[in-house]
Amino acid sequence: MTSDREHGNLPFWKTKSLEDMSKSEWESLCDGCARCCLNKLEDWDTGEIVWTRVACTLLDGDTCRCKDYDNRAATVPDCIQLTPAEVKTLTWLPPTCAYRLVSEGEDLYWWHPLVSGNAETVHEAGVSSRGRTVPEDGMALEEYENHVVTWPGDLPA
């Protein structure tokens, strides 16, 4: 193990791999954008994935947080619970996702709460899903295609 002095007091996400992070470090990487909580559609022929603005039933659209994070897999069986291995293989993680950025050796954006010190900057920077979603509750799967969007895959201006 290396000391902070050897790393020049760099933040953990610049010195640790995803695999080496503690549970609290891992959890703090989530910026609260909730883009990963949007339903995606996959073209069975091409494998192309498109985003929708249809939010998971557990997403709180105002806070961009899961309403039952600890038990989410029980309520939403297809909820992807990120692991370091999955981060490396999931092609639909947003380009701003801290897990993806760290995995690729990139730094976090200025608006990330770990950088800014403020959980609201992700919303102020226009990166989050706040105010942009519709709930999946009661919506037929066939209707999802009426809510296809591109912004979850975009970098902020």
pLDDT at 5 (0 to 100):
46
Backbone angles phi, psi at 64, to 5 degrees: 60, 35
Nearest CA-CA partner of 107 in 95, 119, 98, 116: 98
73 Cα distance to chain centroid: 16
Q: Name the maximum alpha-carbon separation found in the chain.
A: 56
Q: Are 153 and 51 in contact (CB under 8 A)?
A: yes
Chain position carrying tokens 């801290």: 98
> What's the pLDDT tens digit per position in 89-132?
998 999 999 999 999 999 999 999 999 999 999 999 999 999 99
pLDDT at 1 (0 to 100):
46
Q: Are 150 and 35 in contact (CB under 8 A)?
A: no
Give the start-to-end residue ranges of the domains of the chain.
Answer: 12-153
**Which tokens hold the place of 37?**
């909580």
pLDDT at 67 (0 to 100):
96
pLDDT at 7 (0 to 100):
58
Chain position carrying tokens 């909580």: 37
